[in-house]
Chain A
């Protein structure tokens, strides 16, 4: 289904040194994506966030990141300097974090922060930036943009904070957005509204979206394709609509242990972890992903 890949990652390995020996957080991860909604799901410690961050080189300097290929729109990202990466971050690829409370500057108004994101990448006047910001706040369904422009981050609710983050990440019009659990801290109805905004951006603007989440049900209903990760490895890559029919033992195990609204009140099946999942037999190697 890929025409011109937006992002191609081949054989990505990330290792963190530790006093007890190296910890390999990501092992032989390969995928490629176009303008679509690609989900990365897994439990805590599965390497999903580290995978997302390594694309933007946002890992700490002591992390050892190696890949055979890491190409964004045909340009090699691997040996970009920090200065070159700053050009790419925000303008080409942007990232939405889980918690707006920690990601927004507490002592600047929401509007000024979004202005800054725009002015960093475009040569425009203050007035023009403000107009764009107000448009953007409106685009993420904030009802009274003029009022919200002058608010400080602590004065807005969690759902609104997350929409502000998305507005800030979208204003330079990136072609790829990496969203790391963007809606996990939100109530379900607000979560759905935020997802609808992201969805519209993908379908209307042709943006690519990497959606990192622990929520299988959500990813299955929201994304186009899904990468399932466990222990730093890719267990499988499948079409989201086929996720619930997956035959991979790990995916099956995860799906089975979810309580269902329509389920019985019997005991839930427990996920029996299999050491073999850490071997190549159960993971997608870099060749078969092509």
Chain B
């Protein structure tokens, strides 16, 4: 469904030059739930931004459903691929009601039947009609994130790009949103590309995981390997240990891991 080959992107020039993605390769099958983990600055969100076209100066190949992406994305692309962002406070227009926010993509794509679609999708994300004419500030964080998911689903996409969809939420609300995402994935047979810094969330949601460090994918593992903690890469091993909770004895062994190309 999603194929990425040798994706490269560079920000800045001269002394400020930062090579944010260094030849990223990914292959994600239709209906698969794929996780991308790494620490801040590892480039995991940049991959999503390249796919959606929020960044345009990348090199390499990205193809969705067999079609190579280049230049401006067309409407057909956005009917197929939708994104949910980390911050439910920042990603909804503060002066648009839920109704207006959800109708906008329907109008842009000329799908018609907007009222029925809004009602249906609000039911699907567990909000219901009574939230329809509220403004974002009248909703809690979890409710806002449900609206963001509804906005992505209303175009009936086949791929959802999820950029830390629950890291701004309390754990009890996180559980609700994760369950919602899993349910819609089963019902609609969606392909997920989920970016997260939380290994537990990724292990819960995804069947395969790629670990990123400093713009490179250092390792790809399946869920069983992630759960057993069997990694071949030292960076992944350290990340796994750190995610297991506080243990004074392992921390002195932590080092900054450079990627293979940086050491070379």
State how many angstroms separate the Cβ of B122 from the closest Cβ of chain A: 19
Partner of A270 from B170, B179, B199, B223 at Cβ < 8 Å? B179
A260: nearest chain-B partner, CB-CB: B200
Contact B178 A218 (CB under 8 A): no
Q: Which residues, 180 to 237 on B, are CB-close (under 8 Å) to A?
A: 182-183, 197-201, 203-205, 207, 223, 226-227
Given contacts A43-B170, A188-B39, A188-B197, contact A268 B205 (CB under 8 A): no
A1 in the interface (beta carbon within 8 A): no
Partner of A265 from B204, B246, B251 at Cβ < 8 Å? B204
Contact B247 A259 (CB under 8 A): no
B178 surroundings in chain A (CB, below 8 A): 259, 268
Contact B248 A214 (CB under 8 A): no
Contact B243 A268 (CB under 8 A): no
B179 surroundings in chain A (CB, below 8 A): 267-268, 270
Chain A contact-residue range equals 35 or more
Given contacts A188-B197, A188-B243, A189-B239, contact A268 B204 (CB under 8 A): yes
State how many angstroms separate the Cβ of A48 from the closest Cβ of chain B: 12
A45: nearest chain-B partner, CB-CB: B170
B205 surroundings in chain A (CB, below 8 A): 259, 265
B204 surroundings in chain A (CB, below 8 A): 259-260, 263, 265, 268
B40 surroundings in chain A (CB, below 8 A): 158, 187
Contact A192 B254 (CB under 8 A): yes
B247 surroundings in chain A (CB, below 8 A): 221
Contact A257 B251 (CB under 8 A): no
A257: nearest chain-B partner, CB-CB: B175
Given contacts A188-B39, A259-B201, A261-B203, contact A43 B242 (CB under 8 A): no
A246 surroundings in chain B (CB, below 8 A): none
A254 in the interface (beta carbon within 8 A): yes
Complex CA distance for A260 and B40, rounded to whole angstroms: 21
Binary A-proximity of B128-164 (CB < 8 A = 1, otherwise 0):
0000000000000100000000000000000000000
A155 in the interface (beta carbon within 8 A): no
B242 surroundings in chain A (CB, below 8 A): 188-189, 191-192
Partner of B171 from A188, A258, A265 at Cβ < 8 Å? A258
Partner of A267 from B182, B239, B251, B254 at Cβ < 8 Å? B182
Partner of B170 from A44, A187, A196, A222 at Cβ < 8 Å? A44
State how many angstroms separate the Cβ of A98 from the closest Cβ of chain B: 13
Partner of A187 from B39, B174, B252 at Cβ < 8 Å? B39
Contact A214 B251 (CB under 8 A): no
Given contacts A195-B246, A268-B178, contact A261 B200 (CB under 8 A): yes
Given contacts A189-B39, A195-B251, 11 further A-B contacts (CB under 8 A): A43-B170, A43-B172, A188-B197, A189-B239, A192-B246, A218-B246, A221-B246, A221-B247, A259-B178, A260-B204, A268-B204
A residues in contact (CB < 8 Å) with B: 43-44, 158, 187-193, 195-196, 199, 214, 216-218, 220-222, 253-254, 257-263, 265, 267-271
Q: Which 4 A-B pairs have the closest CB atoms?
A: A221-B245, A259-B204, A257-B175, A271-B172
A-B contact pairs, 16 of them (CB 8 A): A43-B171, A44-B141, A158-B40, A188-B197, A189-B238, A196-B252, A221-B247, A254-B172, A259-B198, A260-B203, A263-B203, A265-B223, A267-B183, A268-B175, A270-B175, A271-B175
